[in-house]
Amino acid sequence: MIIGAILKTKGTEVVAVAPGDTVLAAARLLGEHRIGAALVRGPAGELLGILSERDIVRGMAAHGPGTTGLKVEQFMTRDLVTVTPRTLVTQALALMTHRRVRHLPVLDDSGGLSGLVSIGDLVKARIEEAELEAEELKAYVAAAG
């Protein structure tokens, strides 16, 4: 299975924040959408980074109680790990494990944003794929037997 198949089911809508937004505003947005990360986009929509719950927690540990009033750009991860719609789910899972990330922006061939996938999206897809393979194998054995 490829990432593009997940996006067809999940959709391509991506929640984003601006680098000048406060951490509090970003945290509220994450909570409102029940997600673990938001992309950080500039005024022209360009992809600047990602802000995750993990980034916020690290920021709180470093800056203390005043963290919520600070800007997203101070906490966001700028070095993005990305995939394409043609990336295999197994490759994306290996990349997430190796780079210790939980969200991958999906970029098309021209570098445009196609969507965002989470570790949960990929695990769900792998489970569905394994269940389908098991059912097909059962049907094959039953037909051959």
Q: Which domains does the chain have, with CATH numbers?
A: 3-144 (3.10.580.10)
Close Cβ partners of 125 (under 8 Å, ≥ 6 residues apart): 1, 5, 6, 89
Both tokens of 25, joined, read 């505003």
Cα-trace Rg, the chain: 18
Task: Work out the number of other CB atoms within 10 angstroms of the CB of residue 108.
Answer: 13
Q: Give pLDDT, residue 136.
A: 83
Per-residue pLDDT of the chain (145 residues; tens, 9 = 90+): 999 999 999 999 999 999 999 999 999 999 999 999 999 999 999 999 999 999 999 999 999 989 999 999 999 999 999 999 999 999 999 999 999 999 999 999 999 999 999 999 999 999 988 888 888 888 888 888 7
Q: Give pLDDT, residue 129.
A: 86
DSSP letter at 113?
E
For the chain, the maximum distance between any two Cα atoms, rounded to a whole number of angstroms, is 68
Question: Amino acid letter at 7?
Answer: L
